[in-house]
Amino acid sequence: MLLSIIIPVYNAEKYLNRCLESVFKAVALSKVSTEVIIVDNGSTDESMIIAEKFSKESPLRIKICYCETPGAAAARNYGVKKALGKYIWFIDADDEITEESVRDLVKTAEKNKAELVMMGAKRIYSENSSNYLSAVDPKAPDFKSRFVRYGAGPWQFLILKNWWTSNNFLFKEGIIHEDMEMVSALILFTDKFFAVDKPLYLYYQNSDSVLHKNQWDPHYLDIFPALRGLYGRFQRAGVVGEYFYELEWFFIWNLLIDSYKDFTKFPEGKEGLEFSREMLKKYFPEWRKNPFLREKPLKLRIRVRLNYRKK
């Protein structure tokens, strides 16, 4: 078994068939021995009916598992335990992969004896506009710096399973920013990083996804334990000094730009603004001097400073 595709599922009836169809096409084209591990996370809709039907009618090797612990982090961790493949790939149930994705990723991994292969992704918005999330170029002299600053999702990597498990990587359970707590630190643990800079993954920005709801969710505040966890990983590796400005920029972006939108969209998010200021004061009190921030357009620099001051 070369590849295990792990798909956490929670009430994904609107998207799951589309996702599985894309996986089927990619595996068929690649001829790579593949298993698909569907991990149900307490769905109350018809997601598992769809999964069971697809399992019976498709030649894909499909395992359907049930994880009682809520959250995508627990489902992914559970899926890794069940995986038999040499490589693992985490795919979200509301997304798709391209037809050539499995072929290109496994070929790159096998040719280079890779531990981590990053791919490009196409991010698709509800109004059908899109943009491209490029892969970090491992040939660039500053690729480790960019990797730390990038903030990729776990679905953007093909991963050597033995490398993953031997490093005891686990997604932090109980929070929704579980990938942020880990992904930017992965580059610290490998010298066998490669990339396929093509849009092999289709990342949909669905309004009903965990991170894109139209109503307040207390889990939006999970950004804070996630960032603390990420900082802790760099501390334990003894490289905070080496990647200080990268981490500082990562905190600036996620606290004063990305999560700021959620905190100001809802009245309940007001405390998130105060938590953001407190976190920056604690970890990066001189954040205004960050070299990556100073490279940004004046409009963005002003916006970030104003966001910091907002009460």
* Residue 289 domain flag: yes
> pLDDT at position 126, please?
83
Domain that holds residue 161: 3-204
Structural domains counted in the chain: 2
Check whether residue 171 and residue 289 sit in a common domain. Answer: no
Q: What is the pLDDT of residues 231-287, one digit of tens each?
A: 999 999 999 999 999 999 999 999 999 989 889 888 888 889 999 999 999 999 999
Q: Answer whether 241's CB lies under 8 Å from 235's CB.
A: no
Check whether residue 198 and residue 105 sit in a common domain. Answer: yes
For residue 79, how far is the Cα from the chain centroid? 16
> pLDDT at position 123, please?
95
User: Which residue, 147, 178, 204, sits at the end of a domain?
Assistant: 204
| pLDDT < 50 positions in the chain | none
User: Which residue, 204, 236, 264, sits at the end of a domain?
Assistant: 204
For residue 174, the 8-state DSSP code is T
> pLDDT at position 211, please?
54
Check whether residue 234 and residue 159 sit in a common domain. Answer: no
Helices (H), 83-142: 101-112
Q: Characterise 185 by phi-psi region: left (phi > 0), alpha (psi -120 to 50), beta (else).
A: alpha
> pLDDT at position 209, please?
57
Check whether residue 93 and residue 159 sit in a common domain. Answer: yes
> pLDDT at position 185, please?
97
> pLDDT at position 212, please?
53
Reported in sequence order, the residue ranges of the chain that DSSP labels E, i.e. its strands, are 3-9, 34-40, 61-66, 87-90, 96-97, 116-124, 130-133, 157-160, 193-204
Q: Answer whether 191's CB lies under 8 Å from 112's CB.
A: no
> pLDDT at position 3, please?
98
> pLDDT at position 244, please?
98
Q: CATH number for the domain including 99? A: 3.90.550.10
What number of other Cβ atoms are within 10 A of residue 68's Cβ? 9
Check whether residue 175 and residue 243 sit in a common domain. Answer: no
Check whether residue 154 and residue 38 sit in a common domain. Answer: yes
Check whether residue 246 and residue 104 sit in a common domain. Answer: no
> pLDDT at position 43, please?
94
Check whether residue 194 and residue 265 sit in a common domain. Answer: no
Q: Give one DSSP letter per residue of 181-235, joined into a string.
A: TTGGGGGGG-S-EEEEEEEEEEEE--TTSTTS-SS--GGGGGHHHHHHHHHHHHH
Q: What is the pLDDT of residues 188-218, one digit of tens each?
A: 999 999 999 999 999 998 766 555 566 788 8
* Residue 210 domain flag: no
> pLDDT at position 213, please?
60
* Residue 211 domain flag: no
User: Which residue, 204, 236, 253, sits at the end of a domain?
Assistant: 204
Would strands 193-204 and 116-124 be described as parallel, antiparallel, or unpaired? parallel
From the list 63, 4, 2, the residue with the least C-alpha distance to 33 is 2
* Residue 209 domain flag: no
CA angle (284, 290, 292) in 5-degree steps: 130
What does the chain come to in residues?
311
Check whether residue 168 and residue 278 sit in a common domain. Answer: no
* Residue 213 domain flag: no
Check whether residue 93 and residue 200 sit in a common domain. Answer: yes
